[in-house]
Amino acid sequence: MSVLTPLREMPVGNIFRKGDVFVLFGELFGRGYVNGLLDEARNAGMTILGITVGRRDENQQLRPLTAEELAAAEANLGGRIINIPLMAGFDLDAPAGTPNPTDLLADFKLTTWQDAKLDWAQIERCREVGVARFKSSLAQVMAELDQAIPDGANVFFAHTMAGGIPKTKVFLAIANRIYKGRGDRFLSARALLDSDLGKMILKNFDEVTANTFQHLIEASSGIRARLAKSGGETRYTAYGYHGTEILIGGEYQWQTYTNYTQGKAKMRLEDHAAAAWGQGIKAVVFNCPEIRTNSSDIFVGVELSLFPLLNALLKEGDGGWAHEQWKICQGLLNDGVELQSILDRIEAYNADSTIASFRNFEAWPMDNTAELADVMVGTSEEITSLHKDRKALITDHLSALVLEGTGPLIFHEASAPHGPVLWLNHDIIARQLVKMHKA
Ligand SMILES: NC(=O)c1ccc[n+]([C@@H]2O[C@H](COP(=O)([O-])OP(=O)(O)OC[C@H]3O[C@@H](n4cnc5c(N)ncnc54)[C@H](O)[C@@H]3O)[C@@H](O)[C@H]2O)c1
């Protein structure tokens, strides 16, 4: 998908009510995006159901949650969890008696990984085993869901899955250099992408971040057909990322975090939604802004695009609640540091020619460069150091606001969606937040 299709109109429709079912397709973490959507489903009185990715035992075998883990996860979700492991990806899968990709990567060393080669025929066999495992578990999950979703109900499948980084020591060191490194410690994303290690990781991203959405849509076709016959509707949503429009120089402009290594997988996710849409299935990828979550914390600088949300809140509202947000954020800074000076710093950052050269939608996802890392990681570290407490950042507060705003937007738009791929930019999120907080 290479056309930017932002959602500009505030969605207000709602087909979901008590007795309808919300299925969370992914696990729930405290700061995760789906919290905003879950709030809406709960408010609508929907029955909440969830899944688990499972856990690994001491032999790396996938297992269901223990009774204790399950109880904690269900309490956290506020709904029943179908306890069949749905871990996606194939980094720990292999035909019996043969090495899995993580085993193969264990031989890669920090000094040799760029030239180290993988046995691609074996990787492909592992991929097939992983996909077959996922689809077989998914069929069991769907059989249980089929029992749990009554005729005539509407069902909302919310896909959150993204990931696929294999757990190898060498990659942790490489990731630290690609996403956090500057100067001597900088490593270009291209070096990773050109290596066998990088190619293997991209394949795994495809499976976890993109293809799980397709499997979900296909595996639920029976439920969809049954509900359609009895007057119930089925919706699918997924969280995408493909850059965000934020206020730069007083205008909403598209920008992105670079290097977004999962970019190709996220485009594949968009393609799956478009293909389903072509068959009359209401599946929508919502491309969402950069926020700080368990999954994004490794990307130093990803949070810089959040600051202009404070200006968007002023632009899109009457100011009262927006000023409160400014006050809260001001309170997180060291004494003597003005919030406006941080926003000025971000404005200068976005005007920097190095940073501006990455605002190239057609070329997305671009490789990073040493110059970019210097400015981006440097600015991130500088702004973080101006806070009273590194564990209570302005971007934590703004992340919580963004996920709160995306909840109702996704929930209502899914009722009568305009297309398979929609961007939720700072403009509409700010308008939604201001609307929600109007006294
Ligand atoms: N954080 C951001 O800046 C941002 C921006 C735009 C879109 N998103 C997307 O939002 C979605 C939720 O992410 P989040 O940032 O809220 O973080 P999160 O950590 O709360 O969610 C990540 C999800 O991925 C699932 N997952 C991870 N590895 C998996 C695997 N191997 N198999 C199956 N599932 C797996 C987890 O169970 C969890 O539900 C993701 O699709 C993410 O790409 C995030």
Q: What is Dmax (Cα atoms) for the chain?
A: 65
- 336 alpha carbon to ligand 1 midpoint, in Å? 37
* Ligand 1 pocket test, candidate residues 165, 288, 295, most atoms within 8 A of CB: 295
43: helix, strand or coil: helix
Average pLDDT of the chain, as a whole number: 96
How far away, in angstroms, is 184 Cα from ligand 1 center?
31
Q: Ligand 1 centroid to 416 CA: how many Å?
A: 25
Residue nearest to atom 25 of ligand 1 (CA): 161
Ligand 1 mean position, distance from CA 238 (Å)? 10
Contacts of 108 (CB under 8 A, 6+ apart): 116, 168, 170, 197
| H or E segment and range at residue 169 | helix 169-180
Enclosing H/E stretch for 350: helix 339-351
Asked whether residue 434 carries a pLDDT value surpassing 90, the answer given is yes
**Domain extents in the chain:** 21-436
Q: What is the pLDDT of residue 318?
A: 75
Q: How far is CA 203 from the centre of its chain?
A: 17
- C-alpha angle 433-436-439 in degrees, rounded to nearest 5: 120
Rounded-to-integer distance, Cα 106 and Cα 202, Å: 18
Q: Model pTM?
A: 0.98
Q: Give residue ranges with CB within 6 A of ligand 1.
A: 26-27, 29, 32-33, 53, 87-89, 160-164, 208, 239, 241, 288, 290-291, 293-296
Q: Determine the 3-state secondary structure of 226 from DSSP.
A: helix
Instruction: Kindly report, residue by residue over 229-263, the tens digit of the pLDDT.
Output: 999 999 999 999 999 999 999 999 999 999 999 99
Instruction: Please say if the pLDDT value at position 294 is more than 90.
Output: no
Q: What is the pLDDT of residues 140-190, one digit of tens each?
A: 999 999 999 999 999 999 999 999 999 998 998 999 999 999 999 999 999
Q: Residue 237: which H helix or E strand, with range? A: strand 234-240
136 pLDDT tier (thresholds 50, 70, 90): very high
With a cut of 60, say whether residue 71 has pLDDT above it: yes
DSSP assignment letter at 10? P
CB 16 within 8 A of CB 156: yes
Question: What is the number of the ligand 1 atom nearest to the C-alpha of 33?
Answer: 16
Q: How many helices (H) and strands (E) would you count in the chain?
A: 17, 11
**Mean pLDDT, residues 199-203 taken together:** 97
In the reported structure, the alpha carbon of residue 341 is separated from the centroid of ligand 1 by a whole-number distance in angstroms of: 32
Per-residue pLDDT at 439 exceeds 80? no
What is the band of 118 on the pLDDT scale with cuts at 50, 70, 90?
Answer: very high
Cβ-contact 298, 175 below 8 angstroms: yes
Q: Are 425 and 289 in contact (CB under 8 A)?
A: yes
Closest CA to 310 of 250, 398, 423: 398
Whose C-alpha lies nearest to ligand 1, atom 26?
Answer: 161
Q: Which pLDDT score is estimated for 319?
A: 84
CB-based contact 33:288 (threshold 8 Å): yes
